[in-house]
């Protein structure tokens, strides 16, 4: 099932035991994170028991602090994730498909990430997994529900050096990443498709966001979503049209 605006609006939002506002998107077999711009002001989102393979494609969510993604198919973390959710503190990725130590690199710049769980991922079977994760993501205080100790940090530094001067072992690990498809990157198009505009300019993106905010019904939002998914610029969002109105 696609993560549509209609599904988001009909899903349960509640105050969880931590007094955080949480959006419940569990168990819908969602394959891709999309259309979350309509889900405003959430502290936590629960994506447990879906089919998500790539962690990313979030709008700018400075309020979001918790992401629950256990039992998905995640094998790729998009580099733009820290920019989209800069205040994330808790990330649960139990029972996914993260395979290589270097696949965790995008989490390094999540400066407020303190609780991380990667249990039942192939990466946990890699040699020095725990030391590497502690070294590469220094903000983490609890890894796989176990507190990170000062002794572990010291050992990690001995193994991998510093970020400015990594050891030869660290450099070797950083060069091995999974060969996965990045859904954030534009796919190669056939000649017949090259006339279709699918990538919004910054001005067009802002216009689309304004159209969504101004929408007076779910049908209007669904229509905007459909046009974007078909590679068409919604009426009123075209950059040329915008310039023409300003003249």
- Quick: pLDDT tens for 17-35: 989 999 999 999 999 999 9
pLDDT of the residue at 171: 87
Of 140, 174, 208, the position where a domain reaches its end is 174
- The answer to whether residue 187 sits within a structural domain is no
- The answer to whether residue 93 sits within a structural domain is yes
- The answer to whether residue 141 sits within a structural domain is yes
- The answer to whether residue 182 sits within a structural domain is no
Of 122, 145, 174, the position where a domain reaches its end is 174
Domain identity same for 167 and 196: no
Domain identity same for 51 and 169: yes
Domain identity same for 154 and 200: no
- The answer to whether residue 60 sits within a structural domain is yes
Number of domains in the chain: 2
What's the mean pLDDT in 128-140?
97
Of 122, 144, 174, the position where a domain reaches its end is 174
Domain identity same for 137 and 202: no
Domain harbouring 136, CATH code: 3.80.10.10
Domain identity same for 99 and 132: yes
- The answer to whether residue 115 sits within a structural domain is yes
Domain identity same for 128 and 36: yes
pLDDT of the residue at 125: 96
pLDDT of the residue at 183: 43
pLDDT band at residue 163, thresholds of 50, 70 and 90?
Answer: confident
Domain identity same for 105 and 157: yes
pLDDT band at residue 216, thresholds of 50, 70 and 90?
Answer: low
pLDDT over threshold 90, residue 53: yes
Domain identity same for 139 and 218: no
State which residues form the domain around 239: 192-246
What residues form DSSP beta bridges with 143? Answer: 116, 146
Domain identity same for 30 and 144: yes
141 is written with which tokens? 């205080």
Domain identity same for 105 and 39: yes
- The answer to whether residue 102 sits within a structural domain is yes
- Mean pLDDT estimate for the chain: 84
Domain identity same for 79 and 43: yes
- The answer to whether residue 132 sits within a structural domain is yes
What's the mean pLDDT in 103-113?
96
pLDDT of the residue at 215: 67
Domain identity same for 164 and 201: no
Least confident of 75-79, 102-106, 143-147, 226-230: 226-230
């Amino acid at each position: 099932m696609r993560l549509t605006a209609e599904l988001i609006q009909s899903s349960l939002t509640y105050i969880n035991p931590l007094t955080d506002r949480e959006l419940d998107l569990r168990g819908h077999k969602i394959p891709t994170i999309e259309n979350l711009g309509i889900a405003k002001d959430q502290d936590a989102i629960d994506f447990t028991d879906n089919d998500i393979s790539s962690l990313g494609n979030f709008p700018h969510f400075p309020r979001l602090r918790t992401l629950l993604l256990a039992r998905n198919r995640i094998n790729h973390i998009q580099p733009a994730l820290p920019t989209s959710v800069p205040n994330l503190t808790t990330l649960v990725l139990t029972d996914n498909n993260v395979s290589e130590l270097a696949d965790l690199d995008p989490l390094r710049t999540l400066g407020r990430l303190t609780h991380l769980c990667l249990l039942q991922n192939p990466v946990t079977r890699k040699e020095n997994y725990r030391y590497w994760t502690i070294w590469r993501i220094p903000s983490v205080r609890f890894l796989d529900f176990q507190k990170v100790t000062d002794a572990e940090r010291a050992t990690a530094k001995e193994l991998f050096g510093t970020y400015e001067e990594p050891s030869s072992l660290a450099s070797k690990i950083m060069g091995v990443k999974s060969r996965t498809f990045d859904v954030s990157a534009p796919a190669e198009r056939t000649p017949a498709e090259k006339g279709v505009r699918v990538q919004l300019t910054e001005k067009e993106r802002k216009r689309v966001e304004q159209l969504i905010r101004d929408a007076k019904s779910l049908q209007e939002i669904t229509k905007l979503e459909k046009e974007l998914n078909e590679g068409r610029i919604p009426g009123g969002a075209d950059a040329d049209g915008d310039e023409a109105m300003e003249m």
